[in-house]
Chain A
Amino acid sequence: MSESAIPAAAAPPAPARAVSVLDIFLTFLLIGATSFGGGVVAYLRGALVAKKKWLDDVEFLELMSISNTLPGLNATNMSILAGDRLAGTAGAIAALLGMCLPAFVFMTAAGIAYGAQHGASRVFVTAALAGVAAAAVGLIAATWYQIGKKSVKGFYDAFFILAAVLGVNHFKFSVPVVLLAVGAVAIFAYRPRPPQKPSAETDESERWISSLR
């Protein structure tokens, strides 16, 4: 990835597109209310890039790479970043609220309904949710399998994945400890290399090195 080619002048975001804050709120509200079945990012791309043409694909991927690196969900991180690009701080707030409000209403109502059930309906709901939970395991596993297949390259990546899994599940370290420890080592492993010592992964640079000998 060479997103380092993006000009630094892109920040702070210039609201050159003249998108109204209300329009942003309503657009994200619609996505927030209709993006069933996970994969909010696909819905966002469909609306922001394909339909509204507020962002192009390069910008969208750039925002995705920021969103992936930071804590927080892609759905909300992308809303904040895109809203900020489109209309500054007010745009970011409008996008976040629009994205979150429908889910908030949905999950609050679900929590009330879930807490209130009793008797026969409780047996029924518990059985349904046991099936949903099993389906969720398959769904989440598939999502991460697909991400892993695309992004895991080589021994280092496999090692860091294994270290994080074992750290949490086998050695029972808390998540922040594993995140900080394995994260620090991983970032160091991928530390910036000086240009005169290119990584051995690229054939071209290997040939270049041997040509010097």
Chain B
Amino acid sequence: MDQLASLAGVFAYLSLLTVGGGMAAYPEMKTLVVDVHHWVSDAQLVHIYSVGQMSPGPNMMMVAALGVMTAGIPGAAVAAVAFFLPTGILTFGVGRLWTRLANWPWRDSIQRGLGPVAIGLAVAGLLTFGRSSINFKDGTVHGLVALAVALAVFALTVRTKINPALLILGGAVVGITALR
């Protein structure tokens, strides 16, 4: 019961930080889920987050996996509802208000100002995530292979129209052959 309440609190709080996408909340998620509550290890969080990238639909549904690992199916349900309901209600309310605010001059200011902040928070989250997923503590070769995979996927995504799911699959294949 306590565990479910903690899950609800943590994921409701994290959901409010997802400005511009889930990555913005990653540093705070790592602090709470790994360091404070010890629900999963740092490596496990990286793995679960990565699986979320393979999921159809909202990739942050990875919170359900964290929930089920912490407190079974009820944990998954609580984590998912806590993560998607508060921002959902906010979006619903503001969405109706927003068109009515068409002539409110600050509307464009908010939109314009939060754009770069969202990018900055995503980069910060990515750096935190990257430090855990591309690391040299399992050996230099391990780190270099991971770095090469990341760079290759980056280049292919920017330069070609290849389906990202294939690139993720490719990462898994490289992992199995070279990162054991």
Contact = CB atoms under 8 A, between A and B. Distances in A.
A67 B141 CA distance: 42
Interface in A127-141: 127-141
A156 B46 CA distance: 32
B175 A147 contact: no
A186 B80 contact: no
Contact of B158 (A4, A31, A114, A146): A146
Contacts of A76: 58, 84, 87-88, 91
A70 B57 contact: no
Interface of B: 15-25, 27-28, 31, 43-44, 46-69, 73, 76, 80, 84, 87-88, 90-92, 94-100, 102-103, 105-130, 132-134, 142, 145-147, 149-155, 157-158, 163-168, 170-176, 178-180
A1 B111 CA distance: 10
A39 B164 contact: yes
Given A110-B65, A174-B28, A186-B114, 17 more contacts: A8-B99, A11-B99, A68-B115, A69-B114, A72-B15, A72-B87, A73-B22, A74-B21, A75-B59, A76-B87, A104-B61, A107-B55, A111-B64, A137-B153, A139-B167, A163-B120, A174-B31
A11 B100 CA distance: 6
Nearest to B106: A192
Given A136-B168, A137-B133, A73 B60 contact: yes
Contacts of B146: 130-131, 133-134
Contacts of A37: 163-166, 168
A139 B95 CA distance: 30
Contact of A36 (B20, B47, B165): B165
Q: What DSSP secondary structure best describes chain B's contact surface?
A: helix
Interface of A: 1, 3-8, 10-13, 31-40, 62-63, 65-77, 80-81, 84, 89, 92, 96, 99-100, 102-104, 106-108, 110-112, 114-115, 123-124, 126-148, 151-152, 156-158, 160-165, 167-169, 174-176, 178-179, 182-183, 186-192
Nearest to A146: B158
Contacts of B76: 104, 107-108, 111
B113 A183 contact: yes
Contact of A175 (B25, B110, B158, B165): B25
Contact of A164 (B95, B124, B168): B124
A71 B167 contact: no
Contacts of B173: 131
Closest 9 CB pairs of A and B: A131-B175, A164-B120, A135-B171, A138-B153, A111-B65, A192-B105, A72-B87, A103-B57, A37-B165
A144 B25 CA distance: 15
